[in-house]
Chain A
Amino acid sequence: MSAATSLDLRASAPGPSAVLNSTRADLLRLRKWPAVWVTIGAWLALNAMFAYLFNYVTYSSGTTNFSTQGESRAELLAGLLPSGLPATLPQGMPLFGGAIMMVLGAIIAGNGYGWGTWKTVLTQGPSRTSTLAGSLSATTVLIAGVALATLVTDYAMSLAVALAESRSTALPGLGDLAQSVGVAFLVMEMWAMAGYLLGTLARSPAVSVGLGLVWGLVIEQLLRGVGGSLAWVDTFTHFLPGTSAGSLVGQMVGVDPGTPDATPGLLDALSYDRALLMVVAYLVLLPTLTWWLVRRRDVV
């Protein structure tokens, strides 16, 4: 046969271009998906409310609420100003932000099985590895966007507080801010990857979201409670994603989980370095498991 009908392998070699094509394809459908915007919007709104609005109302009315008991008004205000951004921004990530990002990862991976879109995608050309790498990259772009959007809303909120209270609008050090946003990104990315794995595993968003939330919000908390009296359970909890994320943020902002005013989910079980290592390890392990699953699985 002529050259036209023989296979041109160069055009289809798995590699950077196939991954890039898959990333662009996935970004297009994520960008136009209302569920993605609703989820991200909900996070930004709730984060602004819990991190700033409630605390500011508490501060200005002079009363105490459940999350500010025992804190002096000066401390409270310090956290609400632009200079307090590095400490305030990542506090909601381990439990709250993580849970929402897990939902995001789970719906990105899980819905495609019910809709039959993975089937359609996998008959397009790129290998399963390239397709998955593209989808995970697109998810990562999304999470990075969420981290930056959180920074922007938090800055806007803190600026408003500073102006209202006639306090300094000076920004914190760039290094501190970058570290804070970086940690927030890593924690959210880890939970999103966990959600993606669960969505792939269950092939449905509902089951994976349910399982993931029960794990993150209930089981890990219970295990840490039991760990207080059983040493081996305590050791076990040191390897869990929630402990790792909670410790990473907790150590960075300096937290004492024993006090009643501690933000839920923040821990000091692991050192900062150890927690960072664990989170990065999960960021390698979770996508690898997903890849292993996607590679060998029958797609129906």
Chain B
Amino acid sequence: MDELVVQTKGLTKRYGDGDSGRLAVDRVEMTVRRGEVYGFLGPNGAGKTTTLRMVLGLIRPTAGSATVLGRPAGEPAVTERIGALIEGPGFYPYLSGRDNLRTMARYRALPEAMVDAALERVDLADRGKDKFKSYSLGMKQRLGVAAALMGDPDVIVLDEPTNGLDPAGMADMRGLIVELARGGQTVLLSSHLLAEVEEICDRVGVIARGQLLVESTVSALRGGRRLRITATPTDRAIAIAMRLAGEDAVQLSGDAILVDVPPERTPHVVRAFVTEGLDVHEVTISERTLEEVFFEMTRSGEHVHAADDLTSSLEAVR
């Protein structure tokens, strides 16, 4: 099941020539496996959309390559097996939602029944006859997803699919994506919403300033759970913690110390503190959110270091 559905090698896009050019995507090595929901995470302008456009063959890489389903990106044979919604839905404003899908379906000679099924799937069946230009942003977005679903593609590429959706619409969209993955379709999803990615993605790739900083499972990215202890005197507390967990596993955070130990060792650690005569004020198990990890990694100038840290911590987890 580890077949690679999308793979990029040294994928690079530079706009403009020479040193004055802007490097939008910088040697990105991305791998998406069959059947997973892959989250492509990054701040606005990080190069997410540009990378996805190259994966779809809409723009040509300056260097490197992208393969989809084992063939070069952009080949007709590949493109018709991908459903995509890239940078907002692009439809004819004067046509109804349904006629827009009928037009797109004709490019692959798909039966009309698929159009209605796709509308049904994104809850637009009763508005299908209305003109696209009369749709709300959320409905336009859903029509874009409907177009991407037509023809049961092997891979579905969704660029910020929850953009412009209200909270209920976002929840529906996430439910739909999870459902697609359950049905065996591979979903490549870009987002700047961490909660979204944390909730529905199996693996994530984090991109900032055109570089793929890390690619891993969500849980590995967040790292293990840590013990957060407030005890006085603090210097002695640190010394004891280091003795128990090793020097590298202890970190000071304000008044508290963070100790990397498995949760089942919690009583052992607390007992040690008490036995040594320390005053223990607070013991909690702290989990890093993806948000913390993300900001750690994408903070300006430190990302390479952070990525190294992360890679080593990932190795430790394995």
Contact = CB atoms under 8 A, between A and B. Distances in A.
Q: Do chains A and B interact in one complex?
A: yes
Interface of A: 1, 5, 7-9, 11-14, 17-18, 21-22, 24-26, 28-29, 32-35, 115-127, 130-131, 296, 298-300
A205 B82 CA distance: 30
Interface stretch (B72-80, B249-257, B277-285): B72-80
Interface string B39-74: 000000000000001001111100000000111000
A130 B76 contact: yes
Given A21-B109, A115-B91, A123 B86 contact: yes
B120 interface: no
Most buried by A among B70, B82, B89, B106: B106
Contacts of A125: 76, 79-80, 107-108
Given A21-B106, A28-B99, A131-B107, A124 B69 contact: no
A117 B87 CA distance: 12
7 contacts: A7-B71, A17-B109, A21-B107, A28-B102, A32-B95, A116-B87, A127-B76
A24 B102 CA distance: 10
Interface residues of A, dominant DSSP: helix
A123 B154 contact: no
A296 B57 CA distance: 11
Nearest to B93: A115
Given A25-B104, A29-B103, A120 B58 contact: no
Nearest to B157: A123
A115 B92 contact: yes
A160 to B, nearest CB: 34
A86 to B, nearest CB: 37
B148 to A, nearest CB: 8
Given A7-B69, A33-B92, A300-B53, A28 B108 contact: no
B92 A29 contact: yes
B11 interface: no
A300 B58 contact: yes
A13 B93 CA distance: 31
A288 to B, nearest CB: 20
Contacts of B81: 7
- Which of under 10, 10 to 19, 20 to 34, or 35 or more describes the interface residues of B? 35 or more
A32 B84 CA distance: 25
Given A17-B109, A121-B107, A300-B58, 7 more contacts: A7-B69, A7-B70, A24-B106, A116-B87, A116-B90, A124-B108, A298-B53
B76 A12 contact: yes
A29 B95 contact: yes
B258 to A, nearest CB: 45
Contacts of B34: 1, 5
B88 interface: yes
B94 interface: yes
A28 B103 contact: yes
B122 interface: no
B78 A7 contact: yes
A238 to B, nearest CB: 39
B238 interface: no
Contacts of B94: 32-35
Interface in B157-204: none
A116 B106 contact: no
Given A25-B107, A28-B102, A32-B99, A298 B59 contact: yes
Contacts of A119: 58, 86-87, 90
B3 interface: yes
Nearest to B144: A120
Contacts of B58: 119, 122-123, 298-300
A246 B99 CA distance: 40
Contacts of B77: 7-9, 12-13
A296 B93 CA distance: 27
Contact of A123 (B3, B82, B92): B82
A252 to B, nearest CB: 38
Contact of A5 (B76, B89, B154): B154
Nearest to B78: A7
A5 B58 CA distance: 24
B147 interface: yes
B296 to A, nearest CB: 32
Given A12-B80, A298-B58, A298-B59, A117 B92 contact: yes
Contacts of A18: 76
A34 B106 CA distance: 20
B137 to A, nearest CB: 14
A45 to B, nearest CB: 21
B59 A1 contact: no
Most buried by B among A1, A7, A124, A126: A124
A120 B91 contact: yes
A211 B31 CA distance: 46
Contacts of B57: 122
Contacts of A24: 106
Contacts of B69: 7
A186 to B, nearest CB: 29
Contacts of A22: 107
A299 B49 CA distance: 12
